Amino acid sequence: DAVKSNGTTNSVNATVSFNNFVHLSRFTSDYDSIESLGKGGFGHVYRAREKLLDKNYAIKIVRGTKKALREVLALSDLHHTNIVRYYDCWMENAEYKQDSAANTLSFSQSISDSESQYLYIKMELCDTKTLNKWIKEQNKTAPQNTKRREDGLNIAQQIISGVEYIHSKKLIHRDLKPANIMFGQDKKVKIGDFGLVTNENEDDKNRMERTNKTGTRSYMAPEQRTYDRKVDIFAVGLIYFELLWTLSTGHERAMVSFLYT
């Protein structure tokens, strides 16, 4: 039983059918046409239609940790055309999951333990084509392609505008890379994935705890522990190079990074 006779809760470890649990979930009661967009260390992202507004959104589901709440806090304070727009968030006691056979909802946690809850983040829905895919498509053409240079410059300017705004809020993104840069329904560049965002004004103790394992290695600045917004500027420089020129291998990217430093 999930509930003891004295009214306290036990830990729950079960797989509950979608139909039996739908009334307990805001996600499955307020949204339909749910479709998986991607999954990874960042959590799981779905496309879903909000029934009341008849409009599609991206819903990101992650563990309800302090780190996840930090991402939401940062997003809620950012309002810029080149940053993925944040709308809302809420907590649920289970993570929504889908499989090919049926809609299922699986959960394993103590309902009274907030650390075991899941955070649902409602955001602007972007195109599934990331800047990483755009670069790969452009790499099939000659690097001297004039159209690529023009489009690359326009994209770079929008990225810089978004990063400049992030820094104006005293924040550091820390994970800028083509895979985290998308295109909105308005065709504009959208910087996303703020899972590693940090405040530039952290005290000295927290700054010393920053690790060289945080971020994506091939886009990381040479600063190892104590650093500032320049780590984002470093990543933007590498991205701009990729926008203009074909880098066929990881070794080439590493060489550019070495020369850039």
Average confidence (pLDDT) per 10 residues, the chain, 261 residues: 39 38 76 92 90 97 89 92 96 82 47 68 95 92 79 97 96 93 96 89 53 56 66 92 74 52 49
**pLDDT on residue 217:** 58
**pLDDT on residue 146:** 85
In the sheet that 86-92 helps form, which strands lie side by side, from edge to edge? 31-40, 43-50, 55-63, 118-123, 86-92
Tell me the domain boundaries of the chain. 11-123, 131-260
Q: Are 124 and 57 in contact (CB under 8 A)?
A: yes
Q: Does domain 11-123 have CATH number 3.30.200.20?
A: yes
User: Which residue from 228, 234, 83 is spatially nearest to 162, judged by alpha carbons?
Assistant: 83
* Main-chain phi, psi angles of 208, to 5 degrees: -70, -20
**pLDDT on residue 45:** 94
Which CATH number applies to 131-260: 3.10.20.30, 2.160.10.10, 1.10.510.10, 3.20.20.140? 1.10.510.10
Q: Are 177 and 217 in contact (CB under 8 A)?
A: no
Annotated binding site for ATP: 60
**pLDDT on residue 243:** 92
Question: Where are the extended beta strands (E) located within the chain?
Answer: 11-17, 31-40, 43-50, 55-63, 86-92, 95-98, 103-110, 118-123, 171-172, 181-183, 189-191, 198-199
69: helix, coil or strand?
helix
β-pairing, 11-17 vs 31-40, is: unpaired
37: helix, coil or strand?
strand
Pairwise CA distance, residues 216 & 218, whole Å: 6
β-pairing, 103-110 vs 181-183, is: unpaired
**pLDDT on residue 41:** 72
User: Which residue from 104, 101, 96, 107 is spatially nearest to 44, judged by alpha carbons?
Assistant: 96
β-pairing, 43-50 vs 55-63, is: antiparallel
Q: Active-site positions?
A: 175
Q: Are 116 and 68 in contact (CB under 8 A)?
A: no
Which pTM does this prediction carry? 0.76
**pLDDT on residue 244:** 86
